[in-house]
């Protein structure tokens, strides 16, 4: 055995030792009825072919490796952006365990969500009792200022009425009558986490705004960031820019502090978030800006209904999109864009010019949430790259149209293809048949990276296998710089790997690039 | 639903009719089947439990019949290791939409999905999992699987454990039921041997079991099936011809072990591969059962020789760590078998246990914790993050060992933490694992970063003085 106290091998190298190699090989022979190596490699080659691609894309009943999560996850994330708010998911326990793990693994922070623990009884008789007991327990145990209720498929299939249930629970004294319990119906068999986000933010606004008339409009801008795995870095960066512009603004749903608590010996179940008073006051704002269209369709309609002006962006990244954002803010606030920001913009453009030769003509595959894919494709085209494959498992035909419009606006989008509703296994075929230089997406892309040899730039949500990316902004000119660097690093690292063989490929192993 | 109900009761029959233990059958049943309190967050659901218990069977396609939720939020999140196939890590789901549900398309979609898997992946078998929604709308996955099995000449196994029927623990047991009903005993092995064993409830996290297997190889003991860790469908299907069995995570599969004993006369024991004496004990008992079932009695002697050799080696290797770990205070927040087995292992290297949780532990597990620790107040049930946080500080723990979801609680308390649940990146089983465990605890506790984390900022220090 190769272990010793002086040199205890980690399991990764340990199982590479010959004893273990042999043991594992024997298992294959004894229990797998293995095919000959030739058959396996023929089959592997077949999965790279156009023929397989056609079969793969024709799949109808089966989703393989999805790039979306469900509505309640979005609702839970949304609730985390409000002051001392406990997420309460009306359904069985398992779903909540998944949301907690998902958020925890991405943000490297604890994530508190409770469940109404529905079981078979609830499925038959309805979940009212679970709501009554659950709200009471949550209120008692976790001392929240607000409990945000969303649903799982189960509660939706049996048709539990949240509004009625919450009223009943209040009548039975689960929580005080005037305690805030906003809610959203979030069935997972409709849409994805971006819709759940939308419903929950709207639910919170309705809870505080319904039945209240707008007094005079104040010159404040509400900003709704949308479901954003990089909210920690992004929200702080945006606040910095807005402060530089001296704009009156209010973030509605800000999870940046909740998912980035300092290590100072205190355990914060809740941190940061938009305060209840601010949400109330936000009714009087003149404008509501959403940074992501698909995350806030219903919410923005509601804002317009109450009399606010509202508009949305597609997750603004890069030069043009940031320009657009700042100019809209400048226009509606009447504040000028200060010199400091102008300089930042100049620096990003300078950096893009410095590196343009390395980026021009590079081909990309981008996947993720609809707004992000849109934003990323736009930024890629700014750098002279071609977004060859744009894929969103939760993309709709409306998204497809918007993407096509965007791609048609630049010569670099000429050969681009848009793939709404497709999964990562479909992307695998796309990458084999029409290869690209870089893949942009979340951690799940690492299998595509391995299978197809396409280097992966990790962005968006979830990122489980790398640390701290979400602490840095992607938005604003500073964010653009970080985005640019991430892409360039990947290109150079890859180039080094390919050219590092001494005397064979190192004619391009350059010190200066 | 009534038949499901009956099956659940049956799954817990095990616990209710148990012979040992101080509490009556009713209390035992309550203990494991007790519903979770609304308004708390405890853990997974039955579906999660079933998937966890079966997914590490690596050459099987695991198809989740559900809206996207159950799979979309959770796919590929376990650290079990495979020595070959990667199919088990691929996510397959029917992604039911509102239209499917309203129009009643879901059973047909499931059948088509099975066909698409069979055509595209040629798996050894397909396991189909029902979930809350598909169970509630009344999809009969048994019938669909049966038809698919007949039509495709491929084992298509229904796993009936929708989330709402109960806890993760129940899901584990229902997974065992599915294996018993549809898989185990369906294939006759070519050459059954007198030294064939099954290991049940071993997940091969980070390849842990591979550290144990060479020991068994040396003894000439063949692992016919390790369920589920790094298992192949054929191994599981022919597991009924083993001569003896060991359950590692009893919570998950002790009922399966009992029923295999009843049906095929395979004696079993509950053991653990954590810790030195734990591993030695497990080897001895395996040998003992095999000999009782007709293996060559020299196996007992050879086992003693192996144990003596290995123990001597490992104690020597651990000496380097002992002075660095002796007297250090550990809080364990985990469940099931680890509540006692890891405790025991840590005590062997001289660490002090300041608390261990017994969530998801069977009554046997709990008994063992008590016997090992000899102190009641060190044992706690599952608790809220805030309570856990306080406990860490009150009991002046030097390190917490737990799973990923609670790791940040320790870190916020400025305490070192080590993952011993499914996401861990080190293998702790067997004699090798004990060295690794000691090393990782040593590294975690003695990281030079901790003083910096704990000291206030220099300007705050100045104010204090």
pLDDT tens for each residue of A361-401: 999 999 999 999 999 999 999 999 999 999 999 999 999 99
pLDDT > 70: what percent of chain B? 90
- B40:A114 CB<8 A: yes
Query: Can you state the angle between helices A50-57 and B106-121, rounded to 10 degrees?
Result: 170
Q: What is the pLDDT of residues A257-286, one digit of tens each?
A: 999 998 887 888 899 999 999 999 999 999
Whether the pLDDT of residue B419 is over 90: the answer is: no
Residue B32: band (very low, low, confident or very high) from pLDDT cuts 50, 70, 90 = very low
Question: Are B40 and A117 a contacting pair at CB < 8 A?
Answer: yes
**Residue from the list A5, A62, A69 with its beta carbon closest to the beta carbon of B73:** A69
Q: Residue range B372-384: average pLDDT?
A: 76
Instruction: State the pLDDT at residue B31.
Output: 43
Residue pLDDT, tens place only, B425-445: 888 889 988 888 888 999 999
Please tell me which of the candidates B36, B84, B98 has its beta carbon nearest to residue A117.
Answer: B36
Interchain CB contacts (distance < 8 Å): A and B: 298
**pLDDT level of residue B24 (50, 70, 90 thresholds):** very low
- pLDDT for residue B166 is more than 90: no
Tell me the pTM. 0.88
Instruction: Read off the pLDDT of each residue in A309-327 and give the average, rounded to a whole number.
Output: 96
Mean pLDDT across chain A, nearest whole number?
93
Q: What is the mean pLDDT of residues A195-224?
A: 93
Q: What is the mean pLDDT of residues A476-482?
A: 96
Say whether pLDDT at B22 is over 80: no
Lowest mean pLDDT among A170-179, A442-451, B77-86, B330-339: B330-339
Confidence of residue B451 (pLDDT cuts 50, 70, 90): confident
> How many angstroms separate the CA of residue A395 from the nearest CA in chain B?
14
Which of the four pLDDT bands, split at 50, 70 and 90, describes residue B15? very low
The 8-class DSSP code of residue A290 comes to E
Nearest CA in chain B to A148: B39
Separation between Cα atoms, residue A410 and residue A407, nearest integer Å:
6
Contact A110 B405 (CB under 8 A): yes
Are B120 and A56 in contact (CB < 8 Å)?
yes
Residue B193: CB atoms within 10 A of its CB come to 16
Give whole-number Cα distances, A407 to A278, A373, A394, A398, A418, in Å: 39, 12, 19, 14, 9
pLDDT of residue B463 exceeding 70: no
Radius of gyration of chain A (CA): 25
* Residue pLDDT, tens place only, B269-306: 998 898 888 899 999 999 999 999 999 999 999 999 99
Contact B228, B56 (CB under 8 A): yes
pLDDT at A52 over 80: yes
CB contact under 8 A, A28 and B110: no
Q: How confident is the model at residue B67 (pLDDT cuts 50, 70, 90)?
A: very high
Q: What is the pLDDT of residue A15?
A: 85
8 A C-beta contact, residue A243 and residue A69: no
Residue A54 pLDDT exceeds 90: yes
Instruction: State both tokens at A84.
Output: 């001392």
- Chain B partners of A190 at a C-beta cutoff of 8 Å? 97-98
Residue B388 three-state SS: helix
Q: Say if the Cβ atoms of A14 and B432 lie within 8 Å.
A: yes
Q: Is B186 exposed, middle or buried (0-12, 13-18, 19+ CB in 10 A)?
A: middle
Residue B460 has pLDDT above 80, yes or no: no
pLDDT of residue A218: 82
Least confident of A155-164, B112-121, B360-369: B360-369
Q: With an 8 Å Cβ cutoff, are A10 and B426 in contact?
A: yes
Chain B nearest-CA residue for A133: B38
Q: Determine the pLDDT at residue B379.
A: 80
pLDDT of residue B237: 96
Model pLDDT, residue B1:
43
Other beta carbons within 10 angstroms of residue A454's beta carbon come to 23
pLDDT, residue B6, reads 61
Alpha carbons within 13 angstroms on the beta-carbon side of residue A488 total 18
> What is the spatial distance between Cα B366 and Cα B364, in angstroms, rounded to a whole number?
5
Task: Report CB contact under 8 Å: B68, A130.
Answer: no
Q: In angstroms, how far is the first alpha carbon of chain A from the final one?
A: 46
The pLDDT assigned to A482 comes to 96
Q: Using the beta-carbon criterion (under 8 Å), do B93 and A267 form an inter-chain contact?
A: no
* CA angle (A73 as vertex; B176, A102 as ends), nearest 5: 60
Q: What is the pLDDT of residue B13?
A: 53
Are B93 and B64 in contact by the 8 Å Cβ rule? The answer is yes
Confidence at residue B380, expressed as pLDDT on a 0 to 100 scale: 80
Question: Any residues with CB less than 8 A from the CB of A117 and at least 6 apart, and which?
Answer: A92, A93, A130, A134, B35, B36, B37, B38, B39, B40, B42
pLDDT of residue A83: 96
Task: Indicate if the pLDDT at residue B2 is higher than 50.
Answer: no
Q: Is A157 a catalytic residue?
A: yes
Interface test with B, best of A267, A422, A444 (most B CBs within 10 A): A267
Query: From CA A284, how far away is CA A209, in angstroms rounded?
Result: 10
Closest CA to A311 of A327, A326, A292, A330: A292
pLDDT digits (tens, 9 = 90+) for A93-115: 888 989 998 999 999 988 889 99
Vertex B170: Cα angle to B49 and B23 (nearest 5): 135
Which residue among B41, B45, B210 sits closest to A20, beta carbon to beta carbon? B210
- Determine the average pLDDT of the residues in B125-136: 94
| Percentage of chain A lying above the pLDDT 90 cut | 80
User: What pLDDT does B135 receive?
Assistant: 92
Q: Which of A255-259, A334-338, A396-400, B380-384 has the lowest mean pLDDT?
A: B380-384
Question: Mean of the pLDDT values across residues A163-188?
Answer: 95
Q: Taking a C-beta distance cutoff of 8 angstroms, is the pair B2, B165 a contact?
A: no
Q: Residues B233-247: pLDDT tens digits? A: 999 999 999 999 999
Residue B92 CB coordination number (10 Å):
30
Q: In the prediction, which pLDDT does B4 show?
A: 56
Domains defined along chain B, listed by start: 36-182 (3.40.50.1980), 196-317 (3.40.50.12380), 322-452 (3.40.50.12380)
Contact list, B63 vs chain A (CB under 8 Å): 62
Q: Which residues of B touch A98 (CB under 8 A)?
A: 44, 48, 69-70, 73-74
pLDDT tops 50 at residue B89: yes
d(CA A435, CA A429): 9
Q: Do B45 and A95 touch (CB under 8 A)?
A: yes
State which residue of chain B sits closest to A32, comparing Cα positions: B232
Q: What is the pLDDT of residue A2?
A: 61
- From chain B, the residues in CB contact with A102 under 8 A are 73-74
In this complex, do B411 and A105 lie within 8 Å of one another by their Cβ atoms?
A: no
pLDDT one-digit tens code per residue, A422-451? 999 999 999 999 999 999 999 999 999 999
Contact by Cβ (8 Å): B251, B335: yes
Work out the angle between the directed axes of helices B430-445 and B208-219 (0-180°, nearest 10).
Answer: 150
Q: Do B41 and A28 touch (CB under 8 A)?
A: no
Mean pLDDT of chain B: 86
CA distance B168 to chain A (A): 8
Distance CA A312, CA A332 (A): 13
Integer Cα distance of B222 and B228 in angstroms: 16
- Residues in B closer than 8 angstroms to A131, CB to CB, are 38
Kindly indicate whether the ipTM for this predicted assembly is greater than 0.90, answering yes or no. no
Closest-CA distance of chain A to residue B91, Å: 5
Percent of chain A with pLDDT over 70: 99
**What pLDDT score does B274 carry?**
86
Q: What pLDDT is stored for residue B18 in this prediction?
A: 43
Average pLDDT over residues B395-416: 84
The mean-pLDDT minimum among A159-173, B321-335, B416-430 falls in: B416-430
Per-residue tokens: B138: 């009344």
Q: Taking residues B12-36, what's their average pLDDT?
A: 47
Q: A234 or B38, which is more confident? A: A234
How many Å lie between the alpha carbon of B164 and the closest alpha carbon of chain A? 4
| pLDDT at residue number B35 | 60
pLDDT of residue A444: 95
Is the model more confident about B29 or about A469? A469
B164 and A95 within 8 Å at the Cβ level: the answer is: no
- Shortest Cα–Cα distance, B371 to chain A (Å): 30
Nearest CB among A33, A114, A129 relative to B41 is that of A114
Q: Which residues of chain B are within 8 Å of residue A108 when distances are taken between CB atoms?
A: 408
pLDDT at B73: 85
For position B30, what pLDDT does the model report? 45
Q: Which residue has the higher pLDDT, A32 or A334?
A: A334
Q: Can A153 be counted among the known catalytic residues?
A: yes
Per-residue pLDDT at A403 exceeds 90: yes
Decide if B376 contacts A74 (C-beta within 8 A).
no
Residues of A in contact with B72 (CB under 8 A): 66, 68-70, 188, 192
Nearest neighbour of A5 by CB, restricted to B110, B232, B435:
B435
Going by the DSSP 8-state scheme, the letter that residue B205 receives in this structure is B
Catalytic residue among A70, A153, A175, A231: A153
Is the model's pLDDT at B21 over the cut of 50? no
A92 → closest Cβ in B45, B98, B406? B45
């Amino acid at each position: 055995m190769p272990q010793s106290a002086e040199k205890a091998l980690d399991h990764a190298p340990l199982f590479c030792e010959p004893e273990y190699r042999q043991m594992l090989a024997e298992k294959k022979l004894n229990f797998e009825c293995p095919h000959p190596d030739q058959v396996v490699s023929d089959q592997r080659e077949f999965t790279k072919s156009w023929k397989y691609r056609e079969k793969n894309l024709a799949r109808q009943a089966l989703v393989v490796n999805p790039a979306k999560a469900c509505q309640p996850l979005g609702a839970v994330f949304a609730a985390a952006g409000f002051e001392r708010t406990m997420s309460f998911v009306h359904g069985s326990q398992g779903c909540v365990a998944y949301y907690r793990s998902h958020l925890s693994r991405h943000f490297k922070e604890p994530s508190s969500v409770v469940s109404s623990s529905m079981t078979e009884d609830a499925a038959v008789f309805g979940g009212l009792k679970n709501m009554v007991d659950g709200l009471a327990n949550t209120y008692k145990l976790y001392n929240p200022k607000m409990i945000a209720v969303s649903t799982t498929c189960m509660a939706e299939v049996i048709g539990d009425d949240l509004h009625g249930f919450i009223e009943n629970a209040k009548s039975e004294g689960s929580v005080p009558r005037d305690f805030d319990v906003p809610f959203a119906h979030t069935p997972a068999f409709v849409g994805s986490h971006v819709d759940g986000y939308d419903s929950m933010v709207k639910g919170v606004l309705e809870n505080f705004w319904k039945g209240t008339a707008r007094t005079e409009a104040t010159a404040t801008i509400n900003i709704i960031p949308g479901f954003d795995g990089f909210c920690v870095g992004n929200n702080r960066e945006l606040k910095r820019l807005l402060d530089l512009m001296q704009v009156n603004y209010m973030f509605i749903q800000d999870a940046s502090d909740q998912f980035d608590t300092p290590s100072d010996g205190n355990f914060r179940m809740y941190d940061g978030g938009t305060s209840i008073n601010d949400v109330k006051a936000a009714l009087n704002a003149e404008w509501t800006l959403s940074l992501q269209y698909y995350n806030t369709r219903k919410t923005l309609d509601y804002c317009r209904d109450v009399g606010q002006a509202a508009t949305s962006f597609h997750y603004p990244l890069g030069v043009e999109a940031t320009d657009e954002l700042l100019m809209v803010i400048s226009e509606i606030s009447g504040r000028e864009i200060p010199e400091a920001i102008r300089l930042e913009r100049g620096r990003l453009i300078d950096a893009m010019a410095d590196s343009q030769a390395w980026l021009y003509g590079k081909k990309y595959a981008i996947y993720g949430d609809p707004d992000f894919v849109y934003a990323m494709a736009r930024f890629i085209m700014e750098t002279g790259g071609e977004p060859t494959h744009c894929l969103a498992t939760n993309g709709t035909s409306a998204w497809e149209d918007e993407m096509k419009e965007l791609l048609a606006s630049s010569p670099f989008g000429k050969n681009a293809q848009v793939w709404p509703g497709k999964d990562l296994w479909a992307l695998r075929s796309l990458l084999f048949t029409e290869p690209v230089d870089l893949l942009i997406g979340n951690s799940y892309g690492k299998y595509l990276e391995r299978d197809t040899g396409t280097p992966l730039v990790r962005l968006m949500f979830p990122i489980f296998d790398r640390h701290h990316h979400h602490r840095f902004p992607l938005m604003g000119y500073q964010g653009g710089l970080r985005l640019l660097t991430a892409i360039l690093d990947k290109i150079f690292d890859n180039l080094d790997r390919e050219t590092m063989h001494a005397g064979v490929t190192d004619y391009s192993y350059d010190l200066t690039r | 639903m009534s038949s499901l109900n009956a099956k659940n009761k049956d799954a817990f029959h095990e616990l209710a009719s148990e012979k040992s233990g101080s509490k009556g059958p009713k209390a035992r049943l309550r203990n494991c089947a007790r519903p979770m309190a609304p308004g708390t967050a405890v853990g997974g659901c039955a579906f999660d439990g079933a998937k966890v218990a079966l997914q590490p069977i690596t050459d099987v396609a695991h198809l989740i019949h559900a809206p996207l939720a159950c799979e979309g939020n959770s796919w590929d999140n376990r650290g079990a290791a495979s020595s070959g196939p990667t199919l088990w890590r691929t996510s397959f789901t029917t992604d039911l939409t509102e239209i499917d549900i309203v129009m009643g398309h879901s059973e047909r979609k499931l059948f088509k999905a099975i066909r698409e898997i069979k055509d595209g992946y040629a798996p050894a078998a397909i396991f189909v999992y029902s979930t809350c929604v598909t169970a509630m709308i009344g999809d009969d996955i048994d019938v669909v699987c049966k038809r698919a099995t007949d039509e495709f000449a491929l084992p298509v196994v229904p796993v009936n454990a929708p989330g709402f029927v109960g806890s993760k623990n129940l899901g584990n047991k229902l997974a065992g039921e599915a294996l018993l009903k549809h898989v185990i005993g369906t294939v006759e092995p070519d050459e059954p041997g007198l030294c064939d064993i099954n290991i049940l409830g071993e997940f091969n996290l980070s390849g842990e079991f591979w550290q144990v297997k060479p020991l068994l190889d040396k003894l000439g003991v063949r692992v016919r099936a390790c369920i589920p860790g790094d298992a192949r469908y054929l191994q599981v299907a022919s597991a009924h011809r083993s001569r003896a069995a060991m359950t590692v995570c009893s919570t998950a599969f002790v009922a399966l072990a009992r029923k295999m004993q009843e049906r095929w006369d395979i004696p079993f024991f509950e053991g653990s591969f954590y810790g030195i004496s734990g591993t030695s004990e497990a080897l001895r008992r395996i040998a003992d059962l095999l000999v009782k079932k007709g293996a060559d009695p020299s196996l007992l002697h050879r086992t003693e020789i192996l144990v003596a050799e290995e123990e001597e080696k490992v104690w020597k290797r651990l000496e380097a760590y002992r002075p660095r770990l002796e007297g250090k205070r550990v809080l364990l927040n985990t469940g099931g078998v680890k509540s006692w087995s890891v405790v025991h292992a840590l005590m062997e290297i001289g660490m002090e246990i300041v608390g261990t949780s017994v969530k998801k532990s069977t009554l046997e597990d709990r008994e063992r914790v008590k016997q090992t620790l000899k102190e009641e107040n060190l044992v706690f049930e599952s608790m809220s993050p805030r309570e856990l946080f306080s406990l860490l500080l009150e009991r002046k723990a030097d390190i917490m060992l737990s799973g990923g979801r609670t790791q940040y609680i320790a870190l916020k308390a400025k305490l070192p933490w080590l993952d011993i649940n499914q996401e861990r990146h080190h293998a702790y089983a067997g004699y090798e694992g004990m060295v690794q465990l000691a090393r990782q605890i040593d590294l975690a506790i003695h990281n030079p970063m901790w003083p910096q984390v704990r000291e206030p900022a220099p300007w705050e220090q100045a104010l204090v003085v």
